[in-house]
Structure formats: structure tokens, C-alpha cells
Amino acid sequence: MEETTYSAKDIQVLKDLTAVQKRPAMYIGDTTSRGLHHLVNEAIDNSVDEALIGFCDTIDVIIHEDNSITVRDNGRGIPVDTHGEYNLSGVEVVMTKLHAGGKFDDKVYKVAGGLHGVGISVVNALSTWLEVEVVREGRRYYQRYEHGKPTCELKELIGLDAEGDGYAQGTKVTFKPDDTIFSVHEFDAHILATRVRELAFLNPGLSLLLKDERSGDSRTFKYEGGLVSFLEYINRNKHVLHKPITFEADKDDVKVGLGLQYNDSYSENIFSFVNNVKTIEGGKHVSGFKAALTRVINEYGKANNLLKKVSLDGDDVREGLVVVISVKLKDPQFEGQTKTKLGNSEVKGIVESVVREHLWEFLEENPKDADNIIRKALEASRAREAARHAREIVRKKDFLMDSLPGKLADCSEKDPAKREIYIVEGDSAGGSAKQARDKNFQAILPIRGKILNVEKARLDKILKSNEIRTLVTALGAGIGEEFDLQKARYDRVIIMSDADVDGAHIRTLLLTFFFRYMQELVSTNHIYVALPPLYMVKKRKETRYAFSDEEYAQVLEELDVKEGDTGVKIQRYKGLGEMNPDQLWETTMNPATRCIKRVNFEDAAEADWIFTVLMGEDVEPRRKFIQEHAKEVINLDI
């Protein structure tokens, strides 16, 4: 082994914003789409913090044609006076120093989403350039930064309208993310709209404009109804069992806002926020709500003779439930800079106490609604018991069959992190895939036809489906409440279906199943869709594949080929079974050359809505959706 030295001179100290540029994922989660949009969230959250304490009622978010973005508010504006310790303006300290800000005590901000003082400085560090304008006391100031470093001192803009774009005070930040850092370079207006919409729901009366100069689209989000409007939005196109239940309470310096409503679906949807920040992994506030809900429903049911010799569990009382939990407190302890989970242990008891008091009051005052809720939970309980028996049968059968289903062609690799499984439509395509695959790390599971539409069935019925039981057994991580990602036998689950309408239907049925009963697989980026080619064009020794009609036309032009030319072979693949194993490997299964799409969702409410519309019981919302989007269809079999 080559001898190396290691001494104090080898220890590096990363100064200023260099640490952020070296390890961006530590501060924003990752450098893909999620991290890119997190930059915007950091800027917006600063503006919303001004709104929380009553100094801001308007926020503009503007996506420019060059993919730079502006976030502007009419708050107090970042301080421009000189900071005594650093001898820099307040603006420059905030923009260039980690852990700098006015949110470390409650003198300036009683509650805030930004707590660590790294948000906007991280945005600056990860941007090719950033410009900030501040309007305070009728005077307008400007400073520009490149790669986190100022190109000029903060200067007053003399002779210009101090109000800028009609703002008598406030802060305007415009930045261009660094393309060398991020793997995704374009902002998705839909993702930003989701966040802006949520903030409008959570802050009644706050006006948020989202403008996309690339498309010309512009929309203002403002909801006076608050949580009621939020619930109505989520439950659109669902049959609700009662009017929205909403309440707010202050307890021990924690403000709790909660809205809940049951519908007749079989899934639960919990949306949780702390100081307007979405906590996608939940935390103590969610734990407190769940504990209180289960206890109140059981106590009320028994006190009113609605439950006899039956105790409902948490999954029973949350079936068909939509809930929005919003807590605001002085010193929230988030787990990590990206703030996805709340850790304050005291919040659990506070939320539990508030929910117990107000939910009990609602049930007492609305006995008919209470009866509907408990009847729904009882049906869920009976179905859960039936599902438990079905699971036991499945487990027993699997044990007798030596666990893995016979149709599964497994791989030899033992490390789940290096394994992937292709779910393939039909035995013919399954046979080709088994011959094409790399047996070391690729497994093949053929499924027959279209699986059960799980949007229209409870778990007990779902577990009677042979195809679904085979799929659950092969993946090895359980289903529903028992799903455990740590037990998953494969890192990638790849859906490979024919490039036609039937294949799209099968793909949608599988995605519905994963979203409803193995959602963590989707949210943690383990589900993929394979993209097999539509055409093969062979001219002499050159073979080209096209994955769309547009690409096919381009290939014909590049090879100077016309349909009908002699000596040229053109094949339109109608199904995976028409491809020989070599072609399937080269185009769809070889990691070095294949094209696969990762399935994820940024907006759980929108994902829930689209599955309800497309896969649910009601025909009318689906008909309306088809009529509105008919012109967007690019693949139609007649």
C-alpha cells in the first residue's frame, strides 16, 4: 500500500458559503428537482414569515424565460443598516453568512418557518447570480451576487421610483440556480403552484401571485375560507360524509389549526404543516392527532352505544379521512435543514388535548354525522379483520410454496440495493424479458392481464386477487399498514407494458395499487416505467430505434429513408412480445442504453385527486376530465 501522510495541514475548513457549494444536498435534500424547487420555497418562506406577524399581505413569484425566478413581498424589507460585528449591511450578512437572521429569538418573529438562518444564504450560494432589492422608508437599495459573492456593495438607487413595481416597502429577490450544481434546470410551474396554493389555504387573506413568463400563465391564489377551503379542494369529486370539521386553539404558546372531513373512499390523507412549512414525514403533531382521534371515536362510540364489544384501531378510524394539521410555535425543532419532520415532544400532548376537546364537542353537537363516521369505521374494522384472515391465508400458502411465487424469475444478486424487478405484461413478453435480462441483478415477474382496480375495493377483496398476492409476495415488503420498505427485495420496481392503450391501462392500474397500498415505494423513488421503442428502422448495417412518432419521422429523415424503400426494414412494435431478446435488452433493459422514467409525486393532494377521477366509482368526473383533455391525447388506438 502506498504510504500517505495525514497531518493538521490536511484538514480543510470550508469558509463562508463554500460548505454549501461543496455539499448542497446537506442543506436542500438533493440536487434534483426537489432541491431545485426547495430554493424557491426558502425564499417564499421568508416572505410568509413576514405575513405571519402582520407585515405582509402580498407575495409575487415570477418564473422568467431564462429560468431565473423572482420572489417579492411587501413586508418590512431586509435591514440595510450596518451590522456592528461584520461591518457589512444587514442585507449582505443575511445573504452571505450561514446561521444569520432575525429568527433565533422571539423579539422580531414570534413564529417563523425559517429558524436556522441558512435558507436565503443557501439560495445565494447555489445560484449563478442573485439580485436583491429592498425598499425601506421610501428608499430603494440594490445588490448583486455571483456564486454567492457580492459584485458590488449595497447601494441606494437614486432617481428611481422608490416603490419599484408598486411596492412602498418590501424585499425582491431574483436568482438563477447554478446549472453546474443541479441535474434539473427548469422550474416546474405545477410544483410551485402546489406550494403557493397550500400557503394561500394556510394563511387566509394572503394574496400570492404565480406568474410564468415562459407560458404567459398567471394566477393569484387567495382563500378567505382557510382550512375549510383546503378540505373542499382536496375532497372535490369525492362523496363526503359530513360538513368540514375545523377549529383553532391556542395552548401553551402553540397555535393549533385543524380541519378534517371523511369521504367514502378507502384511503387516508394527512397534510401536516409547522409554521407553514410542509412536514411530509409528519412528526409529533401528527402523532398527537392520531392518538386523540382513535381515543375520541372509541370513547364516544361506547358512550352512545354505537360500539358494542368492539374497539376500533387507528387504521379503522382513519379510513376515508382527509385531515389538515397546521401548528405554529416559537421554537419548532425540525429534523434536518429541509424540515420534513417535527420533533418537539411537547407538541404531541398539546395537539392531543386540543383535538380531544374540540372533536368530542363536534360529535356531541352533530350526532348524525358522528353516527356516519362510526359506521364507516366499523365497516373498515370488519374489512380489516377479513383482510387479516386473508393475509394469514396468503402467508400460509406462501410458506407451503416455499415463499416466492413460481412465475417469478429471480436474480442471483443478494443485496436488495443492487436488485431490480421488471413487472411485465403477459407470458409472451415475460418469456422474452427472461431471455433478455441480466440474471445477476434483474428479476422478471409476468402478470396476466389487468389487475384489480384497487380504487374500488377494500384490502380484504384486494388480497383475494391472485395477481396482487403474487406481486406482494415477490416484492416482500408487505401491503397497506404492514408495508415495510426495509423488507423490500428490490431497489427498483420497473413496470414494462406494451406501448398501446391496453398497456397504458395496465400501467395505470399498477400505479394506482402502488400509490394506495405501497405509497412509500413511490415517494422514495423506487417505482419506474420502462419505455420500449415504437419503431425499428434498419438500413444496411445501421439499426435505429424510435420511441415516438416524432422521433420516428426524425430517424427516417436522418437516414434518408421513405416508407416502402427497398432494402430498408421498418418494424412497428405492437407489443413487447414482438421484440427478440437482443432487441429488448438493447432498447429497454440494458442500464447503459435503456430509457426509464422514475415515478414520483410532488403534490399528494393532486395525485389523490387524479386517481379518484380516473379510477374511482363516479363516471361523470371522468367524462368531464376526458372532454377537457381530449385534445392532449397523443396515443389513441381506434
Residue 634, pLDDT above cutoff 90: no
Residue 550 lies in a domain: yes
Residue 603 lies in a domain: yes
- Same domain? For 458 and 364 the reply is no
Domain limit, last residue, from 200, 221, 242: 221
Grid coordinates given for 314: 387507528
- Same domain? For 606 and 486 the reply is yes
Which spans in 366-485 are helix H? 367-400, 427-436, 459-462, 466-475
Query: How many beta carbons lie within 10 A of that of residue 466, not counting itself?
Result: 12
Percent of the chain predicted with pLDDT > 90:
46
Would residue 586 show up in a list of annotated catalytic residues for this protein? no
Tens of pLDDT along 138-169?
Answer: 899 999 999 999 999 999 987 655 444 566 88
Q: In CATH, what number is assigned to the domain containing residue 242?
A: 3.30.230.10
The catalytic residue among 178, 319, 498, 586 is 498
| Mean pLDDT value of segment 348-357 | 96
Q: How far apart are CA 132 and CA 70, in angstroms?
A: 9
- Same domain? For 377 and 495 the reply is no
Closest C-alpha to 449, from 424, 469, 431, 472: 424
Cβ atoms 443, 449 nearer than 8 A: no
The catalytic residue among 57, 502, 578, 602 is 502
Closest C-alpha to 318, from 366, 273, 384: 384
Q: How far apart are CA 481 and CA 593, in angstroms?
A: 37
- Give the pLDDT score at 390: 66
- Same domain? For 274 and 350 the reply is yes
Name which residue leads in pLDDT, 289 or 622. 289
- Give the pLDDT score at 360: 96
- Give the pLDDT score at 300: 95
- Same domain? For 58 and 117 the reply is yes
| Mean pLDDT value of segment 496-502 | 82
- Give the pLDDT score at 508: 85
CA 602 vs CA 131, 151, 193, 479, 598: distances in Å: 28, 36, 11, 22, 13
- Same domain? For 147 and 237 the reply is no
Name which residue leads in pLDDT, 459 or 276. 276
Grid coordinates given for 405: 411465487
Which spans in 271-344 are helix H? 284-303, 314-318
- Give the pLDDT score at 632: 57
Residue 5, pLDDT above cutoff 60: no
pLDDT band at 611 (very low <50, low <70, confident <90, very high): low
- Give the pLDDT score at 461: 83
Residue 101 lies in a domain: yes
Q: Which range, 277-286, 356-365, 581-590, has the best average confidence (pLDDT)?
A: 356-365
- Give the pLDDT score at 150: 94
- Give the pLDDT score at 541: 85
pLDDT band at 638 (very low <50, low <70, confident <90, very high): very low
Domain count of the fold of the chain:
4
pLDDT band at 6 (very low <50, low <70, confident <90, very high): very low
- Give the pLDDT score at 264: 87
Residue 261, pLDDT above cutoff 80: yes
Phi and psi angles of residue 573, each rounded to the nearest 5 degrees, phi first: -75, 120
pLDDT band at 291 (very low <50, low <70, confident <90, very high): very high
Would residue 500 show up in a list of annotated catalytic residues for this protein? yes
The boundaries of the domain holding residue 487 are 403-532+598-632
- Give the pLDDT score at 238: 86
- Give the pLDDT score at 402: 43
| Mean pLDDT value of segment 249-260 | 94
Q: How far apart are CA 236 and CA 322, in angstroms?
A: 11
Q: How far apart are CA 130 and CA 115, in angstroms?
A: 22
| Mean pLDDT value of segment 330-335 | 83
- Same domain? For 238 and 324 the reply is yes
Residue 271, pLDDT above cutoff 90: yes
- Same domain? For 112 and 200 the reply is yes
Cβ atoms 260, 395 nearer than 8 A: no
Residue 192 lies in a domain: yes
Q: Alpha-carbon Rg of the chain, whole angstroms?
A: 28
- Same domain? For 207 and 166 the reply is yes
Residue 10 lies in a domain: no
- Same domain? For 347 and 237 the reply is yes
Tens of pLDDT along 395-433?
Answer: 555 543 445 777 899 999 999 999 999 999 877 888 889
Q: Which of 84-88, 327-331, 335-339 has the lowest mean pLDDT?
A: 335-339
Name which residue leads in pLDDT, 245 or 103. 245
- Give the pLDDT score at 498: 84
- Give the pLDDT score at 1: 46
- Give the pLDDT score at 617: 67
Q: For residues 436, 437, 443 and 449, what is the CA-based torsion angle, rounded to 10 degrees? A: -30
Domain limit, last residue, from 221, 238, 263: 221
- Same domain? For 85 and 36 the reply is yes
Q: How far apart are CA 193 and CA 9, in angstroms?
A: 49
Cβ atoms 102, 109 nearer than 8 A: yes
Q: In CATH, what number is assigned to the domain containing residue 458?
A: 3.40.50.670
Residue 388 lies in a domain: no
Share the mean pLDDT of the chain. Answer: 85
Domain limit, last residue, from 221, 246, 271: 221
Q: Which of 100-109, 318-327, 402-411 has the lowest mean pLDDT?
A: 100-109
- Same domain? For 211 and 256 the reply is no
Q: In CATH, what number is assigned to the domain containing residue 86?
A: 3.30.565.10
Would residue 131 show up in a list of annotated catalytic residues for this protein? no
Closest C-alpha to 459, from 587, 340, 316: 316
The catalytic residue among 212, 352, 425, 467 is 425
- Give the pLDDT score at 221: 96
Compute the C-alpha angle 170/175/181, nearest 5°: 145
The catalytic residue among 357, 500, 602, 606 is 500
Percent of the chain predicted with pLDDT > 70:
85
Grid coordinates given for 189: 410551474
Grid coordinates given for 156: 441606494
Name which residue leads in pLDDT, 92 or 605. 92
Element (H, E) at 47: helix 33-52
Phi and psi angles of residue 42, each rounded to the nearest 5 degrees, phi first: -60, -45
Residue 247 lies in a domain: yes
- Give the pLDDT score at 591: 93
Residue 590 lies in a domain: no
pLDDT band at 247 (very low <50, low <70, confident <90, very high): very high
